[in-house]
Chain A
Amino acid sequence: MTKKLKIVVLAKQVPDTRNVGKNAMKEDGTVNRAALPAIFNPEDMNALEQALRLKDRFPGSEVLLLTMGPSRAAEIIREGYYRGADGGVLLTDRKFAGADTLATSYALSMAIRKIGPDIIIAGRQAIDGDTAQVGPQVAEKLNYPQVTYAEDITGLDGDKLVVKRRLERGVETVKTPLPAVITVHATAPECRPRHAKHLMKYKHARTFTEEQDNEHNSYLPIEAKANLRIPEWGVADVGGDEIHYGLSGSPTKVKKIENIVHQAKESKILTSSFEDIDSLIKELFSSHTIG
């Protein structure tokens, strides 16, 4: 008897924080995503791998990506396809804009209700915020158990999922009933590479919005396009109370942003005296490089 699982992977398209430019932040203190290279959040990749491993073990299982963002975040769904996922949904709506973790979790939880998965797997945290809040908040909104800091989803024991967690000073193995939310730590195995066959098949997958914008896509036959349509869901599709979405659903506000300036390379020569070293350490503290 094989069990078939429906798995949702929560993935976020994030600005590559290693390449932050001057225009990274808008005046209102929110991130100017348009000015930064966008990548698949690294720990969400680890999460995708855990989902694909479950699919390997339980053939017939389905792996779906769920991402929230602007139109270009459809790239996350395509990347998932290339690596072996079966589909995905782009959650996109102007009403989601300005969401903090709580409003984001609300939107994701509403979409998850509509999909009805057995397991939800997400990266522990995203590199743009490092909050690690969305996983547990989604779990609470759905009233599901959560297992955070997962390093390995070992398998099923009866109808319960066995998960190995990576903590500060050791490891812990837990057993959780399903449905449950699992967040995956960076020490979990890296995601498998893209598969050439999948790449050929899905590189033309587009959202409706992208098809409208993307002229060169129009050579594809209509039938092909219909099969490769990435669904876009907005507030109207997932329902819920509008007050909980976007800015109005976000209790936290950004009051102030202070940029950290990385100075140009020009070696300063220091001696090994305590005074020299002490002034260097003080400088590292004041520039928030350490501490």
Chain B
Amino acid sequence: MNNIFIYIETEEGKIADVSLELLTKARSLAKELSCEVEALIIGDNVAQHKDELFKYGAQTIHVAEDKRLKHYLTLPFSSIVITVLKKENPQIALFGATSVGRDLAPRVSSALVSGLTADCTSLEIGDHKEVKSGKEYKNLLYQIRPAFGGNIIATIINPDCRPQMATVREGVMKKEALEVAVKGKVKVIDSAAILKDEDFVVEIIERHIEERKIDIKGSPVIIAGGFGVGSKENFKLLYDLAAVLGAEVGASRAAVDAGFAESARQIGQTGVTVRPKLYIAVGISGQIQHTAGMDQSAMIISINNDPAAPIHQIADYAIVGDLNEIIPRMIKSYKLNSK
């Protein structure tokens, strides 16, 4: 009763990182609230993960197993989550902001008629006083997230409904195992009693791994390389940085013509026009043909070893130096500073 529930997502027989990050966070929230951390895991043959969950602080693990639950399906998974949350009545329920979590959590919140905040980047405990009624609330979950295309940071609360539900993006919270695993308990959920035939009306016909199509326009952070990057091999550095920042890689026309990058990545007058939150121009001189496609970006960082390169003029931050030194340092600094 009144504990924190973490929905544990598995993929290819492994626990998703975001679930372990949530367990890590839940430990500190539970300490503040003097409650316990519980995990809910659903699938085929998932009880094997219990030791790892104990290692990350789950004190009770609810396990629902069924052969038909090998892959995530909205209806049976949500039926189980809804049933368990109704019965256990936690004060907080957290999900990863993955394609699974963002499919499952809203359906659950609708059934429980409880509030849900999507894609939180931070979770805190705090009090609240309702201005109109003067009613005071203790120890609410502050669900903090960017909104409005990242132009504002909003703190959302659920004063009256339980559980307080949120999804959290992967990688924004720290993942840390305990030195000594919790000696917790496992509760087996009677899946057969919950699942009905109607829960299986949607069938998966086929699934396979397929590289995502390049989506430069939709990316909030873009790392673009020019002719100055020097080679296709050097472009790999840009992909490394992009992977860390969750960014997309773009290129100038000169870099595309030189064969360093695919034409779908081309930014500029003859490519796509972008206006991301952050644009990092690497080895790009800054000809008007290129800048026409990116000068509306909210923030521009230029990296070029030529101090006279015009790109530095339109940049908010101009770094003069060798990209082979600068990019690894950016990656190192990002890893040091990310929570």
Chain A residues at the B interface, C-beta cutoff of 8 Å: 15, 17-18, 20, 24-25, 29, 31, 100-102, 105, 127-137, 139-141, 145-149, 162, 165-177, 180, 186-187, 250-260, 262-263, 265-272, 274, 276-278, 280-282, 284-285, 288-291
Distance A175 CA – B73 CA, assembled complex (angstroms): 12
* 1/0 contact string of B295-339 vs chain A (CB within 8 Å): 000110100000000001111111111100110011011101111
Q: A132-B102, A272-B325 are in contact. List 14 more A-B contacts (CB 8 A).
A: A128-B149, A136-B74, A137-B106, A170-B207, A177-B202, A251-B113, A251-B114, A252-B115, A253-B158, A260-B146, A268-B316, A272-B329, A278-B329, A281-B330
Chosen A-B contacts, 11 in total, with CB atoms closer than 8 Å, are A20-B148, A127-B149, A131-B116, A149-B103, A255-B128, A255-B155, A268-B318, A270-B318, A271-B320, A272-B320, A276-B319
- Selected interface stretch from B62-70, B117-125, B229-237: B117-125
| Chain A residues within 8 Å of B277, by CB | 289
| In contact, B318 and A267 (Cβ under 8 angstroms) | yes
* B259, CB-defined interface residue at 8 Å: no
| In contact, A274 and B151 (Cβ under 8 angstroms) | no
Q: Smallest Cβ distance from A35 to chain B, in angstroms?
A: 12
Smallest Cβ-Cβ distance to A138: which chain B residue = B110
In the complex, which residues 251-285 of chain B have their Cβ closer than 8 Å to any Cβ of chain A?
275, 277-278
| In contact, A265 and B316 (Cβ under 8 angstroms) | yes
| Chain A residues within 8 Å of B104, by CB | 136
Distance A101 CA – B109 CA, assembled complex (angstroms): 10
Distance A133 CA – B338 CA, assembled complex (angstroms): 27
Q: Smallest Cβ distance from A38 to chain B, in angstroms?
A: 14
| Chain B residues within 8 Å of A266, by CB | 316
| In contact, A278 and B333 (Cβ under 8 angstroms) | yes
| Cross-chain contact of B215 among A139, A165, A187 (Cβ < 8 A) | A187
Smallest Cβ-Cβ distance to B121: which chain A residue = A291
| Chain B residues within 8 Å of A267, by CB | 312-318
Known: A20-B149, A290-B221. A270 touches B202 (CB 8 A): no
Closest 10 CB pairs of A and B: A272-B321, A17-B149, A251-B115, A252-B115, A140-B110, A133-B106, A136-B106, A251-B161, A131-B118, A137-B110
| In contact, B156 and A274 (Cβ under 8 angstroms) | no
Q: Smallest Cβ distance from A15 to chain B, in angstroms?
A: 8
| Chain B residues within 8 Å of A252, by CB | 115-117, 156-158
In the complex, which residues 114-166 of chain B have their Cβ closer than 8 Å to any Cβ of chain A?
114-119, 121, 128, 142, 146-161
Known: A133-B109, A140-B107, A291-B172. A168 touches B205 (CB 8 A): no
* B193, CB-defined interface residue at 8 Å: no
| In contact, A137 and B156 (Cβ under 8 angstroms) | no
Smallest Cβ-Cβ distance to B336: which chain A residue = A278
| In contact, A258 and B153 (Cβ under 8 angstroms) | yes
| In contact, B106 and A101 (Cβ under 8 angstroms) | yes
| In contact, B312 and A133 (Cβ under 8 angstroms) | no
| In contact, B321 and A271 (Cβ under 8 angstroms) | yes
Q: Smallest Cβ distance from B334 to chain A, in angstroms?
A: 6
Distance A131 CA – B243 CA, assembled complex (angstroms): 23
| Chain A residues within 8 Å of B318, by CB | 267-270
Q: Smallest Cβ distance from A120 to chain B, in angstroms?
A: 14
In the complex, which residues 88-112 of chain B have their Cβ closer than 8 Å to any Cβ of chain A?
98-99, 102-107, 109-111
Smallest Cβ-Cβ distance to B142: which chain A residue = A255
| In contact, A186 and B329 (Cβ under 8 angstroms) | no
| Chain A residues within 8 Å of B339, by CB | 291
| Chain B residues within 8 Å of A172, by CB | 204, 206-207
Distance A263 CA – B116 CA, assembled complex (angstroms): 32
* B218, CB-defined interface residue at 8 Å: yes
Distance A145 CA – B203 CA, assembled complex (angstroms): 11
Q: Smallest Cβ distance from B128 to chain A, in angstroms?
A: 6
| Chain B residues within 8 Å of A20, by CB | 148-149, 151
Smallest Cβ-Cβ distance to A285: which chain B residue = B337
| In contact, A257 and B210 (Cβ under 8 angstroms) | no
| In contact, B148 and A132 (Cβ under 8 angstroms) | no
| Chain A residues within 8 Å of B14, by CB | none
Smallest Cβ-Cβ distance to B128: which chain A residue = A255
Q: Smallest Cβ distance from A41 to chain B, in angstroms?
A: 12
| Cross-chain contact of B201 among A162, A177, A270, A277 (Cβ < 8 A) | A177
Distance A131 CA – B160 CA, assembled complex (angstroms): 21
| In contact, B218 and A254 (Cβ under 8 angstroms) | no
| Cross-chain contact of A262 among B299, B317, B322 (Cβ < 8 A) | B299
Q: Smallest Cβ distance from B221 to chain A, in angstroms?
A: 6
| Cross-chain contact of B74 among A146, A250, A274 (Cβ < 8 A) | A146
Known: A25-B152, A127-B149, A251-B114. A137 touches B334 (CB 8 A): no
| Cross-chain contact of A174 among B148, B203, B319 (Cβ < 8 A) | B203
| Cross-chain contact of B208 among A149, A170, A254, A282 (Cβ < 8 A) | A170
Smallest Cβ-Cβ distance to B151: which chain A residue = A20
| Cross-chain contact of B209 among A166, A169, A263, A280 (Cβ < 8 A) | A169
| Cross-chain contact of A269 among B275, B299, B320 (Cβ < 8 A) | B320
Smallest Cβ-Cβ distance to A162: which chain B residue = B205
Distance A180 CA – B74 CA, assembled complex (angstroms): 12
* B87, CB-defined interface residue at 8 Å: no
Known: A146-B74, A271-B320, A274-B332. A102 touches B148 (CB 8 A): no
| Chain B residues within 8 Å of A290, by CB | 221, 245, 278, 334
A127, A139, A259, A290 interface centre (most CB from chain B within 10 Å)? A290
Known: A173-B206, A270-B317, A285-B337. A145 touches B115 (CB 8 A): no
Known: A168-B99, A272-B322. A281 touches B209 (CB 8 A): no
| In contact, B338 and A285 (Cβ under 8 angstroms) | yes
A100, A277, A284 interface centre (most CB from chain B within 10 Å)? A277
| Chain A residues within 8 Å of B320, by CB | 269-272
